[in-house]
Amino acid sequence: MQTAEEEEEEDQPLSLSWPESNRKRFTYLLIMPIVLPLWLTLPDVRKTSSKKFFPVTFLGAICWIAGFSYLMVWWAHQVGETIGITEEIMGLTILAAGTSIPDLITSVIVARKGLGDMAVSSSVGSNIFDITVGYVISENF
C-alpha cells in the first residue's frame, strides 16, 4: 500500500535536479541520454499548465517508442553481424528476452503491492499477446 507521500511524489512533474546519493547520481547519468530528449520534446502533463497537451504527449511517446524500437533492432542486428550470430538467433533470444524485462519489472512491482494475481495475469497475458501477434505477422508476410 502506498503512503500519501509516495502518491504525491508520483504526481510531481519531472525534476532534472542533481541527486544527493551516489547511487542515484549513477542512475541519473545512466538514464539521462533517454530522459533528456523526452523531456525536451514532450510536454509534462503533470504540470497544470501542460495538461491540455496530453494528445501531443501521447502521440509523441508512441513516436519515441517506435524510434527506440527501431534503434534497438538495428543495434542488435549490428552486434549479431559483428559477433557472427544469425538474425534468427538474435531475434529469438536476445531481443525476446530484452523485451520481456519490462513485463518482469511491472509484475514484480504489482506483486510487492500485494496484487499477485495481477502480476501473474500481466506476464501470461503479454506472452500470449506476443505469440499471437508474432504468429499473425509471420503468416501474413
Q: Average pLDDT for residues 54-66, to the nearest whole number?
A: 93
Q: Show the cell assigned to 54.
A: 496530453
**pLDDT at position 1 over 60:** no
Q: Rounded to whole angstroms, how far apart are CA atoms 104 and 123? A: 7
| CA dist., res. 15 & res. 42, Å (int) | 14
Helix (H) or strand (E) holding 60, with range, is: helix 54-83
Cα–Cα dist 45/11, whole Å: 10
pTM of the model: 0.62
Q: How far apart are CA 60 and CA 41, in angstroms?
A: 8
Reduce the DSSP state of residue 62 to 3 states and report it. Answer: helix
What is the residue extent of each domain of the chain?
14-84, 86-141
Q: What is the pLDDT of residues 22-31, one digit of tens each?
A: 998 998 899 8
Q: Over 90: is that where the pLDDT of 63 sits?
A: yes
61 within 8 A of 42, measured Cβ to Cβ: yes
Q: According to the model, what pLDDT value does residue 62 have?
A: 93
Question: pLDDT tens digits for 80-133?
Answer: 899 998 887 777 777 777 777 777 787 888 888 888 777 777 766 666 666 666
